[in-house]
Structure 1
């Protein structure tokens, strides 16, 4: 999927949900999450898009952060999905399944 790029409307709809899914797999800081998103085809996503999204998800109670402090360098926020975020993700997955089904089979037309 990497390199294909996604349509802007797919990116807008999918980015919050894929971010939740990735954070449900393992908590991460913003830059590492950005790299993981790019591996999943969200090639054009920049920090200026991701960090406000993480803030909105946190305001909705879907993710939370904790500060990690290392011996060298500044501290950084590590984001993790909350129980409400897991519920939201489960509901979103079911809705995406319905959208996928509505698109029909992938055979030749």
Structure 2
């Protein structure tokens, strides 16, 4: 199933912030984790992810650093204190929307087969 653009536009930032919650990650790692952990539902290409990361960084929700120790530079991102607050806010909003949709009978299987 492909998620429509408007829904993905809302889910993308929350998903990226959530993936950064445990610690810093670099862009390609985020692309892989989004696809793997959502079983392909939140697949996002690099051409979509990087503008999203730049936007989150401009809003000071994440901070980036460049590591030049490897064969080529990598940009790592981590949540800021503001990003942690935003993630908590977005998680609450998603929980509220999910509960409202369930109350309307709009439910379905979740990734992994759980209902």
Question: Which TM bucket (shorter chain)?
Answer: 0.7 to 0.9
1:10-52 deviations in Å (ceiling 9; x for gaps): 2111000100000112211000111011112212x11111001
Who is 1:35 aligned against?
32
1:85 paired with 2:74, answer no
Q: 1:90 deviation in Å? A: 0.3
* SS across alignment from 1:67: strand
Who is 1:54 aligned against?
53
Alignment of 1:1-109 (within 5 A): 4-39=1-36, 40=38, 41-43=41-43, 45-71=44-70, 73-103=71-101, 104=103, 105=105, 106=107
* SS across alignment from 1:25: coil
> What CA distance in whole angstroms lies between the structure 2 residues aligned with 1:102 and 1:96?
10
Q: Report the number of matched residues.
A: 102
- The structure 1 segments of at least 4 consecutive aligned residues displaced by more than 3 Å after TM superposition are none
Q: Any gaps of 5 or more consecutive residues in structure 2?
A: 109-115
Q: Any gaps of 5 or more consecutive residues in structure 1?
A: none
1:66-94 deviations in Å (ceiling 9; x for gaps): 111224x1111100000000000001111
Quote the RMSD (CA, aligned, Å): 1.5
Q: 1:5 deviation in Å? A: 3.3
